[in-house]
Amino acid sequence: MPLQFVYSDQDFVPDVRWSDGERLGISSTASKFDTTIQAGWTDRMKAGLFRYHLGDLQTRILPGPHGYVAQLNIQRGIERRKPQEILSIQQEFNAEQFNFNKINPEEILFEMIKGVEGGSEKGQLHEPCRMVVLVNVSPLEFGHCLFVPRPSGCFPQVMTSFAIQVGIESVLLSSDPGFRVGFNSLGAFASVNHLHLHGYYLQHQLKIESTPVKPLVPEKGFYGLLDFPAGFLFYTESERVAEVAEAICRVTNFLVDGNIAHNVFLTRGCAPRERTQSEKERCSRRGVRVAVWPRASCFGAKEESAFNVALCELAGHLPFKNRKDYEFISEREVIGIIQRYLLPDSEFHTLEQQLTRHLKDK
């Protein structure tokens, strides 16, 4: 029986801030959520369950206004499981292919159980709402884990309101501003067609945390990103998580229905502003920013020599598979690669209008 991590809204960390310190370890400053993930993940690494040992990754910040965080992770490029062949954004689950029901049970860290505050039902959740957290055996970074809603349900890689809500709550449960969660749709470099989100720690600030936005449907927490790469942004603090999760799912469902691939990235971030924030505003991380990037689909495409454009890359985190690209690539080259995966401007603006109307209709 996997370890159960029982939590409620009372466990959310109301505000986190960046400091000059190193990664939060298992200490008095780490939340219970961080301690549970980090201790379990480190234990599995020592036990040899991973495809390779992940030490401190070589990291450099690319010169330029975007502040791209480049990391060298050669072993992931060599040792990770070959991605599945994806032919459609709405591809059905195939039990014959690899899925998370076939993993070594020791890879499971815990099950997330949201209890009812102040009542006798604490720890009791209906079966469809089980969220299983397991290690990613080909990690991108420290603490890289997967969030899999009820694995036995065999859900395809299509976002659900439950999955996105628990993703947001996971970020709120962490006291580390470097904890991130993300989702790749089919056709957007998802490598397994079994519903899952990624979670990991990256101890560098990203521009997406504070970049200015324009209001689209602010009452639903929906905004447009004003800077590259073109996309949408949701924002929520702890009081509106379920409501905003539902709005996010309406957007991702709209994209799936339109056969539009997409990547989603969740991080602690500043409240939405149409201008550059003050230093005080930029330091505070009371809420969660959820970026949604519609993009061109990739079916059976060869890998880029430098990197694939998925949730990390769009957010400004660039994992490289070879040293030459890592050491010599420029911000201008990164922007050029990412640009090829984005929707043409005319298509994006049409989609922005459609989604704005779609969210206003209800």
Nearest to residue 102, comparing CAs of 162, 154, 144, 149? 154
The confidence score (pLDDT) of residue 87 equals: 83
pLDDT value of position 300: 62
- Residue whose C-alpha is closest to residue 173's, from 2, 351, 11: 11
Does this model's pTM top 0.85? My answer is yes
User: Residue 279: what pLDDT?
Assistant: 59
The answer to whether 198 and 188 have CB atoms below 8 angstroms apart is no
Q: In this structure, are residues 319 and 312 in contact, taking their beta carbons and an 8 Å threshold?
A: yes
Domain boundaries, the chain: 4-360
Whether residue 198 lies in the annotated active site: no
Per-residue confidence (pLDDT) for residue 304, from 0 to 100 = 53
Q: If you search the block for the tokens 């004003």, which residue do you land on?
A: 226
Q: Which residues contact 294 (CB under 8 A, 6 or more apart)?
A: 231, 232, 255, 260, 261, 262, 343, 348, 351
Model pLDDT, residue 27: 44
Amino acid at 6: V
∠ CA 290-294-300, nearest 5°, is: 120
Residues in the chain predicted with pLDDT less than 70, given as ranges, are: 20-28, 116-129, 274-283, 300-305, 362
| DSSP codes joined into one string, 17-72 | E--SS----SSTTS-HHHHHHHHHHHHHHHTT-SSS---PPEEEEPSSTT--EEEE
Contact 282, 17 (CB under 8 A): no
Q: Choose the catalytic residue: 144, 196, 262, 317.
A: 196
Pick the CATH number of 4-360 from 3.60.21.10, 2.40.50.140, 1.10.10.1100, 3.30.428.70: 3.30.428.70
The pLDDT, as a whole number, for residue 129 is 66
Q: What was the pLDDT predicted at 362?
A: 67
Handedness of CA 197, 200, 206, 212 (dihedral sign): positive
Shortest CA distance to 226 belongs to which of 241, 216, 239, 236?
Answer: 216
Tokens (6 digits) for 110: 């815990």
pLDDT reported for residue 275: 63
Q: What is the pLDDT of residue 276?
A: 59
